Amino acid sequence: MSEQAPTRDHETKAGKKERRRVPFQPRQILMLALIWLVLVGEVNVVTVVGGLLLGWLIMLVFPLPPVDHSGRIHPWRLLVLVTHLVRDLAVSSVRLMIYAFSTRVPHPGIVRVPLHAKADLYEVNTAELASVVPGTIAVDVRRKPRLLYLHVFDLPDPATRQETIDDTWALERRVVAAFGSAKELADLDAAQVPSARPSGTDTPKGDA
């Protein structure tokens, strides 16, 4: 969605609303000003106004399409997501440390993982956090159909690829649970039923 927004805007409103190419995003300015305050470490009139001005300048110089987000943030589920994240980070770091100090050669593999969340935001977040889940890095991402290609650090037996898929699906569910609406979560649960699992032989069509 977010990728298409500027072009759609350009097509329909070209001519009469050419000047609104950079969308005004007060939330972005506010976030940037907040980060500025943390960096400076002082709260007074100069830093607050300066931060807001800087945020406004960044919005103009580096325009970003607005994120199409229909859900809301659930604090408790976000905490669950973050806790899982830190634990995953610890587990994967310890595993990698063992490999770094030993002489074992890992057997990597690239696994295709279909995703079910509708919005780009969730796919991006899942891909990001999948790079923290023990043993995987996102090598390639496809939007249509939503696919993630994960490089697994050690996958001696290709039959265990289902574990990677299950882990990523659980991660996707945590992401939607933390950021999505109740309807999106219900849709995801309906899409993630075990019977819909790919057998591994189906090859998705599309451009590469």
Residues 6+ away with beta carbon under 8 Å from 173: 185, 188, 189, 192
CB of 55 to other proteins, least distance (A): 15
> Is 135 or 180 the residue whose CB approaches other proteins more closely?
135
**Separation between Cα atoms, residue 96 and residue 129, nearest integer Å:** 17
CB of 148 to other proteins, least distance (A): 10
> Is 12 or 162 the residue whose CB approaches other proteins more closely?
162
> Is 59 or 113 the residue whose CB approaches other proteins more closely?
113
- Radius of gyration of the CA atoms of the chain, in A: 21
- Whether the ω angle into residue 145 lies within 30 degrees of 0, i.e. cis, is yes
> Is 35 or 46 the residue whose CB approaches other proteins more closely?
35
**What single-letter amino acid sits at 91?**
V
CB of 197 to other proteins, least distance (A): 14
CB 6 within 8 A of CB 65: yes
CB of 36 to other proteins, least distance (A): 11
Which of helix, strand or coil describes residue 117?
coil
Residues for the chain: how many in total? 208
Burial class for 113, CB neighbours closer than 10 Å (0-12, 13-18, 19+): buried
CB of 122 to other proteins, least distance (A): 15
Backbone angles phi, psi at 149, to 5 degrees: -105, 115
> Is 17 or 107 the residue whose CB approaches other proteins more closely?
107
CB of 10 to other proteins, least distance (A): 26
Point out which residues bind other proteins (CB under 8 A): 35, 38-39, 41, 85-86, 89-90, 92-93, 96-97, 99-101, 105-112, 127-132, 135, 137-141, 149, 151, 153, 155-158, 161, 200, 203-208
- Whether the ω angle into residue 156 lies within 30 degrees of 0, i.e. cis, is no
> Is 56 or 149 the residue whose CB approaches other proteins more closely?
149
Burial class for 155, CB neighbours closer than 10 Å (0-12, 13-18, 19+): buried
